Structure 1
Amino acid sequence: MGQAWRDWGGVIGVSACALPIVVALVVALSRWRQKRGVPARVAWWRSAAEIGAVAGTLPWIWMILTPGEGPRQVHLVPLRDLAAQAAGDPGTAVAQVGGNLLVFAALGFFAPIRVAALASPLRLAVLGAAGSIVAEVTQYALDLGRVSSVDDVLVNALGAMLAGLASRRWWQDDVTRPLCTS
């Protein structure tokens, strides 16, 4: 746990300090929408979904784009890294898999609430995979000393899909339907 705190304590601290700003942004955006005629409930959910998706994803992107200590590597054989992690230290495996499940979880949770076209498990998995591919290519292109792995893409996509399923009760709510502008 000490190493994790040394590696990611700054991200955690900044994220915790930013939480009141995130709440203030949701409130301000919701009020702005309400002044323009959007019903209060719809304004709140849309604002929370937009700000939540960004604020919940950025810390994880910051973490995965933090330079590592090794040479950059690419692992393209599916499930090889996951098998190696399962055979290794259980704490490391839980941290790796758990972290990768959370990278696009906020995006997967909020996206179908805000954008009705994303309200399907397959589309959420594709959204998570697309975001993950961008992150993995960026890690490699910037030579951050990290492993760019197809397994990270798979687990990130699964995390987005599972988080989206957790918000399923709100997918068909009135907050995802377009508003009449007349």
Structure 2
Amino acid sequence: MDRTATPPAPARRIRRAVLAGPAVLGAAVVAFLAQRPLHHHRDGWHAWIGTINGVVFLTAAGLPLAALAVWALARRRSAAGTSPGWARRTALAEVGIAYGTLPWVWMIMLPGAGAGTAPRRVSLVPLRDLIEVLAGSPVTATVQVVGNLLVFAALGCFAPMRFAALASVPRILALGAGCSVLVETAQYVLWLDRVSSVDDVLLNAAGAGLAALASRRRWRAADPAPSAGPRPAPLPAR
């Protein structure tokens, strides 16, 4: 029996409908919950894309759409001849990197109340800001530390699964630190009323490294020949 044979058309249609259902439901929930606040809120869309609460809500509500994107991308690559396992793996990694990183970057790039007017602030003394945060409110400290650890956690988790060249904790630490330096520099250049701190870079890189360690068992070398085409028939014995 050929286990790699394409399922019949009715089965494909049923599976497609089952997978598309959560995405449609998620979009409907977002539209229903958003219509009244967006209609009455004086800032319109700013309530959702210009506030941390709005970005968090939209990110959580968009999870079904992300799952649908993984399925569609994997299906497209499988149809192009990529092995199903490798297609699913690369699709999950790529969508995971984007979906798990961009909302965090968006949130830390939101301007503060004094954007464009308050003095630019830079903190280059390692651990000074972190110690001050830990000495304050436990809730605030937890949010600050955990939030910074999660900024590039998805990148650290999925990048080694997608790119064999990044299947190394030191390389992921360097990648996380480099991305964090770019973000902190952008905060300073764009005058966003945020502190460009070396402690943020350290926490961002540490979060990426910890996530890489958590996914280490799933690291594999890149598939040199992911094609799932039919095997040639063996030559008859002489």
Shared fold per TM-score greater than 0.5:
yes
Q: What corresponds to 2:216 in structure 1? A: 168
Residues 58-95 of structure 1 deviation map (CA, whole Å, 9 limit, x = unaligned): 11001100111353311011111111111111111111
Q: Residue 179 in 1 paired to residue 225 in 2? A: yes
Deviation, structure 1 residue 20: 1.7
Q: How many residues align?
A: 175
Q: Which runs of 4+ in 1 moved over 3 A?
A: none
1:58 aligned to which of 86, 102, 109: 102
1:74 aligned to which of 122, 144, 147: 122
Q: What corresponds to 1:116 in structure 2? A: 164
User: What are structure 2's unaligned runs of at least 5 residues?
Assistant: 1-49, 230-238
Measure, in 2, the Cα distance between the counterparts of 1:114 and 1:43: 11
Kindly report which structure 2 residues correspond to 1:1-182, keeping only aligned pairs within 5 A, or say none.
Answer: 7-70=51-114, 71=118, 72-172=120-220, 176-179=222-225
Structure 2 letter corresponding to 1:40:
P
Relative to 1, partners in 2 of residues 1:12 and 1:180: Cα closer, same or farther, differing over 3 Å? Answer: closer
Greater relative contact order (Cα 8 A, min sep 6): structure 1 or 2?
Answer: 1
Residues 30-84 of structure 1 deviation map (CA, whole Å, 9 limit, x = unaligned): 0010011111111001100001001100110011001113533110111111111
Contact residue 83 and residue 226 of structure 2 kept, 8 A: no
Measure, in 2, the Cα distance between the counterparts of 1:180 and 1:101: 34
Measure, in 1, the Cα distance between the counterparts of 2:215 and 2:208: 11
Deviation, structure 1 residue 180: 5.6
Deviation, structure 1 residue 132: 0.4
User: What are structure 1's unaligned runs of at least 5 residues?
Assistant: 1-5
